[in-house]
Structure 1
């Protein structure tokens, strides 16, 4: 296809869709944007817009949700979010709704010590942690009236079978004793004391932008909705080094129960991602492996460390045959 596209999707399709539905943008240059994400193919449109084409029916269902809720949430959040500019409909052989958003400047943060191409190093992790906490807190405090359930709205115990199944499938590349200890502690923790709140539910490196050393934007709200506030605590292990986690924890006022559930959410999501993507998406698999290493080496409270997990590098060979997870990650 010659434009970095995946089968069935490409710049030529984007141009046809634009010509048919948004002719005012049809003459702007279109270029594929490389991403490790699994939900959308992205195309830079001119200098300041991006076209997002869902890769699956589940992601397509999120398009309308984002168009409804992001314009309402954006004024209440301390950093930029991708407010939609146009909602496209199925056409030109493309089966799903699609969208045009404002292009947000910045780069994904590096994970751990990271490989040179894994993202931008954050020079002040404590400041970054505080800014993440400010975002999470502002989102939580937004009026939940009429909000949809999050993609990750289920109680944590509902993920028990799928999480243990993923752990069993990953024997040989994950410490089963340490991982089981994290998971069991999360399941013993009391559930949320209050009603569901707004959560992003996918605060991973690919969904956060930094610019000038500061948190500049949070993107990809496909998992957005109401749920346990502990879900967004997974950012502590997906985005932060050990030394900055207490800053984040204080910023979001997480008690011991919420912190334990947050560790459980991070572990469950990472185990399912590693099992699902360790052959098909090396970048996501490397991030998941890093997160699991952090969780299984940072002690029960998630603060002190007995063993530092290594940098995100090329993944190890797959450990056993890949099996699809029982539930989505």
Structure 2
């Protein structure tokens, strides 16, 4: 079967969002190599190190067909991508970034759309898609509640975790990465977009209440107006010198950074599924998330979860993990069991089952 993808984010986005989408295709190519995966994009990325698994897979074909506009927000909706799919005998098209080409419901192809968060484009795609893939149970509930989508149309397939995070990190690699980024000896880790939703302010307020003065926050992400607000807050709380931001980190260095952390903290007010928590558990590092979101699905029963508006609760959780090596080890063991469901094989099998069911429909 030939399967087509809206692959701009898969190929170009090197954040957790892009990593999650890329891992789906990598898992399919590895576990089901007898199918063909057509990745459509208006242009190729200049940097390709993060694509080595896709580029080395004979069943993956990256296409930049004539007729795909380079305009960022319009190439997906043009007819060029549908014409290309017909030329390549695509049976199922997957809008893995939450968008489907305009007119796909009249194209004769079956369609799937993955939903991580709802917006106007995603809502439209959900109306015309043959199947909706929600990245978590919380997203599925939101779809059914706000969009009136019938339950049978929505399937949950959790995003997987790249194999690089499951490989043991050597002491020499830890030493190299620690020196390269000048990491502090003890830190909690925050990875994600530096915006209001990810709630870094709560972590800063909590850090000010943690007794361990040698504990830092290592923040991976580009500076934003929101981060400037966070720095001002840190100065007011007296912990500005305990913030350590890494603006650029190569993906291959992230496992060592996770591994060295006391815990990964993500008290997001709204997150469909915390990819950073899955990556952290894969590296054997405990996680702290927020209640009432996809964090609890990502972190599993071994994680700690706090009210996203309570610095005191987060401070208590950080202190409990930082001061108890035995507890950290127990959380790591529980996390290792939980993340088995995010491995390549179960993720690929779940997605392929959907494709095959759609192909078999008359």
Which band: TM-score by shorter chain? under 0.3
Higher helix share: 2
Larger-gyration structure (1/2):
2
Using the size of structure 2 for normalisation, the TM-score is 0.26
Report the TM-score, using the length of structure 1 for normalisation.
0.28
